[in-house]
Structure 1
Amino acid sequence: MKIKSHKLFHSDGLQVKFKRSPNQSSAVINPRFLVMHYTAGSSAESSINWLINPKAKASAHIVIGRDGSIVQLVDFNRKAWHAGKSHWRGVNGLNSYSIGIELDNPGLLQGSSGNWKTAWGKPVSDNEVLEQKSSFGKIKGWHTYTELQLEVAAEVSLAIVRHYNIEEVIGHDDISPGRKNDPGAAFPMSTFQNLAAGRSSDESDNIFQTSTALNIRKGPGTEYDKFTEVSPLPKGTNLSVIESHGIWRKVDVIDVINNEMDIVGWVHGRYLS
């Protein structure tokens, strides 16, 4: 993805959908940090509608849906209202120093295993929940992000990190501890932090396994078609990495998948272990 005049564009040159939010300051910023959030809303559409409502007095630069859809609300060089009261590494008021990305996700759930629900009562299947034991022994449930959503979020983040020379990718919970929980335990923060640290994934060797069922595509990005005969690759598929492009890895699949051999394609580096 690319950034032109502080707006986000797909690699094919088409601009990402833009819905300007009135909830922003006229101040021009030079962003140093990228802050990740979850919306805690019922859908990307409802969250976007709220963030462009003047009554909200809140906004973010980007919202990413569970289906990988992207909507930009504020130019990247303008001060959005996403961080609130915040502090990080000697800096107060992160709105003036950061770009904010919101991911459609209800966040911390209510209930327990077999009976997880959102804050507004919508049931959530156990296979979409990351259970985490607190220091007091209580089990918390976090709604997981979708594979496509995280793929797109990483692409967007990498474009922002490179264009603005971002120093660090951080969570809302980092800059407002005790007040905010997002993006939560289900978000792979270390992978996103590595984008700013000059590393695009956690791997160090050339031979890997897929850590989940993983789509394999014809090019390094979600805009490229999947290999429908073999995608997704099953969890535990053995493969070797032969090329890198940002957060994407071109791989040679070692295993035979659906009677297919010599499979070469692109996968998201986050899901290799």
Structure 2
Amino acid sequence: MHFTGGASAQSSADWLCNPAAKASAHLVLARDGSIIQLAPFNVVTWHAGVSQWNGVIGLNQHSIGIEMDNAGGLRQVGDSFQTSFGKPVPKDQVVIAAHKYGGPVMPWQAYTAVQIERAFELAELLVARYGLEDILGHEDIARGRKTDPGPAFPLEALRGRMHGRADDSAPHYRVTASSLNIRAGAGAEFPAVAPALKKGTELVLLEAGDRWNRVEVVGNTDIEGWVNNQFIEPLNAGAARAIAVKKPAAKRKKAG
């Protein structure tokens, strides 16, 4: 899974078809959910570059490349945001977060809901059809060199779904500190979205990060936000399944 870093799905597809790009991929997924296929899945494309994973060197030969139309990291200019090529991005299309492999808290372009939904559908179909072992980001196979698809894409949720977690439930955690702030973003500089969580409060993982996780509080609540990973611990699978059964259906409220 990649982000294009380009201006549009079509312009990215055109560039990937240009020999001067010295890069290619199998699919480009647009922000409206439409798909452009650039190569058959049994043809090697050049989307991974210098890469390694689980003892495999050079992932071009062993993977399917999906490029998602997304600008990636953004620049903040005053109170506004823009792409690296100067295109403005509305605030409601911006995610403020740190990358899971380190770096500053910074703005990233959000993926659209239909784009994420289509990415999940694509991954499910490809894993089932070709027996793929895992779903990885470019960031996972080229650490320190690449940052895509970045913290705005729910890659861990996708991987969890593809690996068939019990009851299709996300991992559950418990607060270990006497009190823990749940914040509007992935960093201590963001305001709390609710009163501090008490020790033992149970949480559902929504998005995993290197230092901060986005979670939802379990119970009759719609509290959702970011917590520091140092002050939570995973529950065992049995406890997680029990919580998933007891948790009432509730409409989620976006933190911040």
Aligning the two structures, in what range does the TM-score lie when normalised by the shorter sequence?
0.5 to 0.7
The percent of aligned pairs where both chains have the same amino acid is 45
The question of 1:174 aligning with 2:121 is answered no
The equivalent residue for 1:240 is: none
Report the CA distance between 1:128 and its aligned residue.
0.9
Residue 145 of structure 1 pairs with residue 111 of structure 2: yes
Q: Which runs of 5+ in 2 are unaligned?
A: 173-205, 207-221, 223-248
TM-score (norm 2): 0.63
Q: 1:53 to 1:140 in 2, by over 3 A?
A: same
Give the deviation of 1:113 after TM superposition.
Answer: 6.9
Q: Distance in 2 between matches of 1:203 and 1:146?
A: 21
The Cα RMSD (Å) is 3.1
**Distance change (3 Å), C-alpha of 1:201 and 1:142:** farther
In structure 1, what is the equivalent of residue 31 of structure 2? Answer: 66
What is the alpha-carbon distance in structure 2 between the residues aligned to residue 133 and residue 194 of structure 1?
21
Q: Name the structure 1 match of 2:123.
A: 157
Q: CA deviation at 1:198?
A: 2.3
Q: How far apart, CA to CA, are the structure 1 residues paired with 2:32 and 2:2? A: 17
TM-score normalized with structure 1 length: 0.59
- Structure (1 or 2) with the greater strand fraction: 1
Deviation at 1:139, TM superposition (A): 3.0
Residue 114 (structure 1) aligned with residue 79 (structure 2): yes
Letter in 2 for 1:174: D
Equivalent position SS for 1:191: helix
Q: Distance in 1 between matches of 2:59 and 2:128?
A: 19
Which has the higher mean CA deviation after the structures are superposed, 117-126 or 127-136?
127-136
1:189–1:136: structure 2 CA closer, same or farther, 3 Å change rule?
Answer: closer
Contact 2:70-2:111 at 8 Å conserved across structures: yes
What code does the residue aligned with 1:83 have?
A: A
Aligned length: 180
Whether 1:186 aligns to 2:152 is yes
- 56, 71, 95: which is aligned to 2:60? 95
Query: What's the CA shift string for 1:192-234, capped at 9, x where partnerless?
Result: 21243124954589xxxxx9xxxxxxxxxxxxxxxxxxxxxxx
